[in-house]
C-alpha cells in the first residue's frame, strides 16, 4: 500500500503573528515547512510527500520546498479540515499520514509506531499524557478535571485515505482541529501511540522561542583553517582583506588575488565540511576571471548559514614583508565584518613578516592564513 505524507500548510499563522505565515518562516536556517517535509521525505516507509498551501502562498511554498519532490502543490481551504479534505481528494487512495506543517521536527520512530499500529485499527495518532492540572472555567475557575484519562493529540496521523474521506462525509469537517476527532465522530477506531514533545505545534511566540532554544542547544562547535599565497606581479594597488591597499606592485591571480579573503573563505568552507574555494570557484572557469573575492567569502558564509550554522569568529594573519599593513588593519577588519555580516569584534586581522626568510621574506609574494570558529546544526 502506498504511503503518502500530506502536509497541511495553508494556514495564516495568526496566533504567532508576523508578516509571513509561520510555516514559511525560517527557524534554525530552514523554513518550518521544509523541516517538516524533509523529516517525512527521508523516512524509508513513506513513498510520497504532498503539500497543501493557501491561495497566494505559491511563491513562498516553492522557495521553502526548492529541490524537494512534493509533486504539484494542492490548494487548501478556509479551515484546516477543508485543506485536509482537498489533499485527500488529490491523493485518492492508499495510506495517508496527515501532518501539520507547523510541527517541524518529526522523529523517525513516530512514523514507524503509527504505521505499525494501523494493523487492527482504522487510524493511529501520536498522543502524550497531560502533565498540568486541567480545569474548566474562564477568568474564574469552575471545576478541575481528572487528567488521568486525557491525552494531547499530535500529528502526523495515519489512516486509510478512503476511511478518512468516509469519516469526513459522515461527520463533516467543520472546525475540527485534527483527523482523530473526525474519525471518532464517525464511529471509527483510532489507536494512540506514544507521541513526542519534539512534535509540539508552533502556535505562539513562546513555542517559537522554545524551538529556537532547542535548535541552538543542538549546535556543535567546529573550526576550519585556510591558507593562500599569491605572487607579486605587475603594478599595484593590491586587494587585501576586501580593500585596495596602495603598493608599487600588484598580485598575480585569476580573481582579484585577495589572499586574506581567500584564506578566510577556505577556513569557513573547511569548518562547514564543504570542500575548498577551488571546488566552488574553479580557476579554470572564465566567469571568475578578475572576480571580486568578496563574492567568494559571502558565498561561503551563505552556504554555512543555509544549513543553520552560525559564524562565531574569524581570525586572519597576513604574512608579508611589504606593503606595511598596520595602517590598513582596521579598515580590513571592518570590511570583512561587513561581507560576513558580523560585528567587528568577531573579526581579527593580524599581519607579520617572516624576518626576511622564505618567499615572503624575499618579497616574492604575500601569504595569508585564517581560522574560522563556527557552530553547525546537527540536523535530524
Ligand atoms: N492549516 C491549513 N489550512 C487552514 C488552516 C490551517 O492547512 N485553513 C494548517 C496550518 O498551516 C498548520 C496546521 O494546519 O500547519 C495547524 O493549524 P494552526 O496551528 O492553527 O495554524 P494556523 O491556522 O496557520 O495558525 P492560527 O490558527 O494561529 O492562525
Ligand atoms: Mg488555525
Q: Kindly report, residue by residue over 18-76, the tens digit of the pLDDT.
A: 889 999 999 988 899 999 999 999 999 999 999 999 999 999 999 999 999 999 999 99
Give distance in angstroms: CA of 83 to centre of ligand 2. 11
What was the pLDDT predicted at 290? 87
Question: What tens digit of pLDDT does each residue of 128-177 get?
Answer: 999 999 999 999 999 999 999 999 999 999 999 999 999 999 999 899 99
Helix (H, G, I), strand (E, B) or coil at 174: coil
Domains belonging to the chain, first-starting first, are: 3-203 (3.90.550.10), 221-377 (3.30.1330.50)
Helix (H, G, I), strand (E, B) or coil at 200: coil
Helix (H, G, I), strand (E, B) or coil at 96: strand
Report residues whose beta carbon is within 6 angstroms of any ligand 1 atom: 8-15, 21, 23, 52, 76-80, 83, 100-102, 201, 203
Q: DSSP 3-state helix, strand, coil percentages of the chain (rounded to 5)?
A: 35, 30, 35
% of the chain at pLDDT higher than 70: 99
pTM of the model: 0.74
**Where does the pLDDT of residue 380 fall: very low under 50, low under 70, confident under 90, or very high at 90 and above?**
very low
Output the nine-digit C-alpha cell for 159. 489512516
What was the pLDDT predicted at 257? 96
CB 127 within 8 A of CB 147: no
**Where does the pLDDT of residue 379 fall: very low under 50, low under 70, confident under 90, or very high at 90 and above?**
low
Helix (H, G, I), strand (E, B) or coil at 247: coil
Output the nine-digit C-alpha cell for 151. 491525552
Please name the residue whose Cα sits nearest to atom 6 of ligand 1. 11
What was the pLDDT predicted at 309? 86
CB 26 within 8 A of CB 49: no
**Where does the pLDDT of residue 185 fall: very low under 50, low under 70, confident under 90, or very high at 90 and above?**
very high
Q: What are phi and psi of 170, to 5 degrees?
A: -70, -50
Measured CA angle at 45 (ends 40, 49), to 5 deg: 40
**Where does the pLDDT of residue 95 fall: very low under 50, low under 70, confident under 90, or very high at 90 and above?**
very high
Give distance in angstroms: CA of 71 to centre of ligand 1. 21
Average pLDDT score over the chain: 95
Question: What tens digit of pLDDT does each residue of 265-310 get?
Answer: 999 999 999 999 999 999 889 988 889 999 999 999 999 987 778 9
Please name the residue whose Cα sits nearest to atom 19 of ligand 1. 203
Question: What tens digit of pLDDT does each residue of 216-237 get?
Answer: 888 899 999 999 999 999 999 9
CA 122 to chain centre: 35
- Ligand 1 mutation target, pool 50, 52, 102, most atoms within 8 A of CB: 102
Taking every pair of C-alpha atoms in the chain, what is the biggest distance, in angstroms? Answer: 88
What is the rounded CA–CA span in Å between residue 87 and residue 83?
6
Helix (H, G, I), strand (E, B) or coil at 124: strand
CB 267 within 8 A of CB 284: no
pLDDT at 215 over 90: no
CB 171 within 8 A of CB 186: yes
pLDDT at 110 over 90: yes
Please name the residue whose Cα sits nearest to atom 10 of ligand 1. 11
Q: What does each C-alpha distance from 288 to 237, 267, 269, 294, 296 come to in angstroms? A: 20, 20, 18, 12, 10
Please name the residue whose Cα sits nearest to atom 23 of ligand 1. 11
Amino acid at each position: 500500500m502506498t504511503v503518502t505524507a500530506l502536509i497541511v500548510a495553508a494556514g495564516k499563522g495568526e496566533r504567532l503573528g508576523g508578516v509571513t505565515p509561520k510555516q514559511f518562516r525560517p527557524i534554525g536556517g530552514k523554513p518550518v515547512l521544509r523541516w517538516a517535509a524533509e523529516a517525512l521525505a527521508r523516512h524509508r516507509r513513506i513513498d510520497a510527500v504532498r503539500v497543501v498551501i493557501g491561495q497566494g502562498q505559491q511563491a513562498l511554498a516553492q522557495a521553502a520546498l526548492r529541490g524537494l519532490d512534493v509533486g504539484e502543490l494542492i490548494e487548501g481551504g478556509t479551515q484546516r479540515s477543508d485543506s485536509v479534505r482537498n489533499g485527500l481528494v488529490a491523493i485518492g487512495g492508499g495510506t495517508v499520514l496527515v501532518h501539520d506543517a507547523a510541527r517541524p521536527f518529526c522523529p523517525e520512530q513516530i512514523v514507524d509506531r503509527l504505521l505499525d499500529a494501523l494493523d487492527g485499527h482504522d487510524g493511529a495518532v501520536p498522543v502524550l499524557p497531560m502533565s498540568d492540572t486541567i480545569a474548566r472555567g474562564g477568568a474564574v475557575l469552575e471545576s478541575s478535571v481528572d487528567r488521568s484519562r486525557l491525552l494531547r493529540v499530535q500529528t502526523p496521523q495515519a489512516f486509510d485515505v478512503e476511511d478518512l474521506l468516509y469519516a469526513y462525509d459522515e461527520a463533516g469537517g467543520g472546525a475540527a482541529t485534527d483527523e482523530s476527532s473526525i474519525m471518532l465522530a464517525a464511529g471509527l477506531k483510532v489507536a494512540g501511540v506514544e507521541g513526542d514533545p519534539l512534535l509540539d505545534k508552533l502556535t505562539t511566540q513562546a513555542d517559537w522561542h522554545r524551538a529556537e532554544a532547542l535548535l541552538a542547544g543542538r549546535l556543535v562547535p567546529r573550526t576550519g583553517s585556510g591558507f593562500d599565497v599569491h605572487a607579486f606581479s605587475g603594478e599595484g594597488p593590491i586587494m587585501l582583506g576586501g580593500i585596495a591597499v596602495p603598493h608599487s606592485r600588484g598580485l598575480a591571480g585569476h580573481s582579484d588575488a585577495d589572499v586574506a579573503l581567500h584564506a578566510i573563505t577556505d577556513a569557513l568552507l573547511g569548518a562547514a565540511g564543504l570542500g575548498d574555494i577551488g571546488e566552488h570557484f574553479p580557476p579554470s572557469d572564465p566567469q571568475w576571471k578578475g572576480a571580486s573575492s568578496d563574492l567568494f567569502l559571502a558565498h561561503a558564509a551563505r552556504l554555512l548559514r543555509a544549513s543553520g550554522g552560525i559564524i562565531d569568529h574569524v581570525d586572519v594573519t597576513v604574512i608579508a614583508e611589504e606593503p606595511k599593513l598596520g595602517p590598513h588593519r582596521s579598515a580590513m577588519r571592518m570590511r570583512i565584518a561587513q561581507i560576513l555580516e558580523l560585528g567587528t569584534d568577531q573579526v581579527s586581522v593580524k599581519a607579520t613578516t617572516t624576518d626576511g626568510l622564505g618567499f615572503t621574506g624575499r618579497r616574492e609574494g604575500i601569504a595569508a592564513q585564517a581560522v574560522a570558529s563556527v557552530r553547525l546544526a546537527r540536523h535530524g
